[in-house]
Structure 1
Amino acid sequence: MSRSALAVSRPSRDPHVPRYQGAEFCELPLPQTTEPWPKHKRLRDAAIEDYDASLRELRYRIGERPFVWPNRTMYFFADIHADADAWRRSLIASGGVRWLGHADDAYELTREGKRALFVIAGDCFDKGPSNLRLLRAIKILIDKGADVEILAGNHDLRTLVGLAYMGRKEPRFAHLFVRMGKKTMPLFEELRREYLEPDDASELSEAELHELLFPDERWFAEFPGEAEGLVPDKKIAKELKRIREKMVELPQKCEELGLSLAHIHRAAEKARELFLHPGGEFHWFFERMDVARRWGSFLLAHAGVDDVTAKLMARDGVFGLNTWFHRLLADDPFELYHGSVGNTFRTKYREIDHPFTEAGVRDMYEAGIYGIVHGHKNIRRGHRVLMREGLLNFEADCSVDVNTRRVEDIGGLGYATMVFRPDGVALGISADYPHVKVFEAERVFPLLTIA
């Protein structure tokens, strides 16, 4: 009997599972098996709500569109929320890096990673254990030569405008510092720990600081008129209520951290120096940020779209949307945060959000955009794919940072990435699902073009 006949056959490796390199530094098992995404039948989650759409629904509602799929790998990450360890695990899960040790910089790009686009789709700030460590870890990826796209998230912009307009008393600006809320206070604690002496505090009194940083009763009277026509009425009422709540929560969080308003104000001044000044250590983060990116027939964004932004993209493309974003960022952060551009990083398609109707769908089709890849929603069974109005939506698993997982009672550590491959396949990889989800575009789009 020949040697070959006696050889023990080995199971073949599933070609859709990424070649994880450095899995021993992931701390969690990485999925080794695959399943079709979506399955033939509609799936529902534990709350008996729709999870993935069915394959039949996708074919029926979007399948006739001439979908363009880029012939380049793209790694999509969202809502890392100040958790550098979740970031490391997500990078390893993507297959775009080869991890070599325990440090945040102990890795190199794989051959695929060197050619790929890494998209960080918003919300790097708040919730997690260390904002500054995560930002430094992202900068390491950039410095290693990766092509990195940073998109705006609501938490990122809330931090930026809160710092930029701290102390301004005009109706459009007076609430923006408080609007950052208690979730931003740990950032100031980090800044104090790393950059300031323990007794380094503002020289203003608590009363003076309260007057400087918090909106007064005149603001509550003037804000509805200032917001009328830009912010839906229901959202105005909600904003007023939420600001009053945050005015109570913020000092409580300071006390919990053992800090006074004087400590927070001094840390916020240091944050402005680090984030807003051209020579600041983290100035690069907001400097290179856009609100959206075109990826074939996909729009990449933090949250979604509305009718106004859809119409703009039909006329001026995604470039026009980003141009509008940067203009508002410089000139009118109030309109940026509350208007249609802000809807791109805030919407959850609720009644209080700017509407997205059939007219918006038609404009997206006119722009050649038939799908959106986004984050912004906490989901529990890994990434999901569904139809929203007439657009294909890939929703990223956004429950990766350790504190979100504790608050949402998910437990354990997290990681998540979506990999869009140049062969028309998308992979959904998450700590919260045991298999790699495999979306094969040709199963949905008979007119698929890879270019």
Structure 2
Amino acid sequence: MPPIHDPVGELSDLPQELERWCVTAAHSGCARPESANHLQACLERAEAHGGWRWPAKPVVFLSDTHADAEGFLRSLVAAGLIRRGRAEPGGFSLTEFGQSATILIGGDCLDKGPSDLDMLDALGTLMAKGPDLRILAGNHDLRLRLAVAALHETPTALTEHLLVRMGRKIIPLLREVHDRYVCDADLADLPDEASCRARLHPGRDWAERFSVAAARHLNAAAVASEVEKLAKKAAQFDAELARAGLTSRMVLAAALKCREVFFTSGGDYAWFYESMDVVCQLGSLLFVHAGIDDSMCELLSEAGAAGINARYRAEQGAHPFAFYFGPLANLVRTKYRASDAALTQQGVAVLHGLGIHMVVQGHVNNQSGQRLLAKQGLLHLEGDVTLDRASRRLEGLSGIGAGATLIFPSGDVIGLSTDYPRAKHFAPERQFLPR
């Protein structure tokens, strides 16, 4: 592992010892014997399809920071990427390892934590220091885009509910945007409170109109589920507004301001979405926030990661409802549920044919560090180690989280987390032998 630059000892709880990654343990998701057998079969298929190709330089995967800048910075320290110091511009500088590695942010920078804008400021400071930095989209990042996009187009049965559908979890961000960017003139341009609330919420006959329009995109069960969800989310949305001390006029002003701040060239945080990809392939590893389905496997075969990223950028701004429930957004949403776009053996075979043998993802947070497990017959490494304080409080974890997944050209994979006592070491070419 690279040296850790922690002069003030803020990461005293970071693992100091290395252990072989026990994939059959509960902390790694394969406690059942059949699960371990499935994982072994994944590794054997990798060997049968040409073996492993590793990135040319070290990769550090760090995902689901969820608006916790301190958890993010501690994770950069834990991975040996930065050294912190008050005299350093922005409070930290890149180490030699940080200058030489690829830093891959796995999505979900927004929502939950203490401050979205502080988190983005920390990420922007890191970007300005010039490392090889890649940013992937997460479902929480996408929610803001779709909620704002829906607000700026003529409402339809498929879009007029999207701010409420996506919006409860972005209320803290809207509070920050309101406090930093909204002025009296912005509020003066808006109608009264009742009219603003009507613009945020769907109309009374929405459920009937939505059920007809959504039938082109979802099956009957999924349509019914969305209608049921919306009733609950509308109540949660209003309750969250009250907790945040926001009126409907304030929320509408902030949501409208988000277009200027995040989605207009030159906006203070436009760089965040402009820099965002949805997949990244490095050697035999496919990095994505949540997972993949058969149609994206085929597109990857036809057009490569660049083709998927181009499609994602081109289509995310149009038809937000269809996009959110389509295969491109499935990359940031899936948990391989029956309602998600399917990854079958056909798609897995396509990936192996491309030399891709493992998906490295965030999205599924864990309380004992990273997990290795087989999903749909394909090896997945889950790298969301519950960094943000909001999630940690809800799940009974103390303090501020820190962790990262390090992948080396040698084929060594290291999982670091302050919530697991040792660093986990996985070396698929040396750790497993064919049966």
Classify the secondary structure of the residue corresponding to 1:252: helix
Classify the secondary structure of the residue corresponding to 1:405: helix
The answer as to whether partners of 1:150 and 1:290 remain within 8 angstroms in 2 is yes
Report the equivalent of 2:422. Answer: 435
Cα distance, 1:47–1:157 mapped onto 2, change above 3 Å: closer
Aligned-partner residue type, residue 205 of structure 1: D
Report the equivalent of 1:24. Answer: 8
Out of 144, 157, 171, which is 1:171 matched to? 157
Classify the secondary structure of the residue corresponding to 1:376: strand
Aligned-partner residue type, residue 73 of structure 1: P
The answer as to whether partners of 2:27 and 2:369 remain within 8 angstroms in 1 is no
Report the equivalent of 2:310. Answer: 323
Classify the secondary structure of the residue corresponding to 1:165: helix
1:93 aligns with 2:78: yes
Larger of the two Rg values belongs to structure: 1
Out of 304, 312, 317, which is 2:291 matched to? 304
1:369 aligns with 2:351: no
Distance between the aligned counterparts of 2:268 and 2:134, measured in 1?
A: 19
Taking every aligned residue pair, what percent have the same amino acid on both sides?
A: 35
Distance between the aligned counterparts of 2:324 and 2:185, measured in 1?
A: 35
Q: 1:277 offset after TM fit, Å? A: 1.4
Report the equivalent of 1:8. Answer: none
Aligned-partner residue type, residue 161 of structure 1: L
Cα distance, 1:25–1:160 mapped onto 2, change above 3 Å: farther
| Aligned residue pairs, count | 429
Distance between the aligned counterparts of 1:219 and 1:160, measured in 2?
A: 22
Q: Pairwise mapping of residues 236-315 of structure 1 onto structure 2 (< 5 A)?
A: 236-315=223-302
The answer as to whether partners of 2:388 and 2:400 remain within 8 angstroms in 1 is yes
Distance between the aligned counterparts of 2:31 and 2:216, measured in 1?
A: 34
Cα distance, 1:116–1:90 mapped onto 2, change above 3 Å: same
Distance between the aligned counterparts of 2:322 and 2:132, measured in 1?
A: 30
Q: 1:201 offset after TM fit, Å? A: 3.4
Cα distance, 1:237–1:364 mapped onto 2, change above 3 Å: farther
Q: 1:181 offset after TM fit, Å? A: 2.7
- Of stretches 81-90 and 23-32 in structure 1, the one that deviates more from structure 2 is 23-32
Distance between the aligned counterparts of 1:243 and 1:326, measured in 2?
A: 27
Q: 1:427 offset after TM fit, Å? A: 0.7
Distance between the aligned counterparts of 2:246 and 2:393, measured in 1?
A: 24
The answer as to whether partners of 1:64 and 1:446 remain within 8 angstroms in 2 is no
TM-score w.r.t. length of structure 2: 0.91
Report the equivalent of 1:184. Answer: 170
Q: 1:20 offset after TM fit, Å? A: 0.3
- Of stretches 249-258 and 122-131 in structure 1, the one that deviates more from structure 2 is 249-258
Distance between the aligned counterparts of 2:280 and 2:29, measured in 1?
A: 33
- Give the alignment's Cα RMSD to 1 decimal: 2.5
Classify the secondary structure of the residue corresponding to 2:364: coil
Distance between the aligned counterparts of 1:70 and 1:47, measured in 2?
A: 25
Q: 1:53 offset after TM fit, Å? A: 4.1
Distance between the aligned counterparts of 1:273 and 1:49, measured in 2?
A: 49
Cα distance, 1:86–1:232 mapped onto 2, change above 3 Å: farther
Cα distance, 1:432–1:100 mapped onto 2, change above 3 Å: same
Report the equivalent of 2:147. Answer: 162
Q: Pairwise mapping of residues 387-426 of structure 1 onto structure 2 (< 5 A)?
A: 387-426=374-413
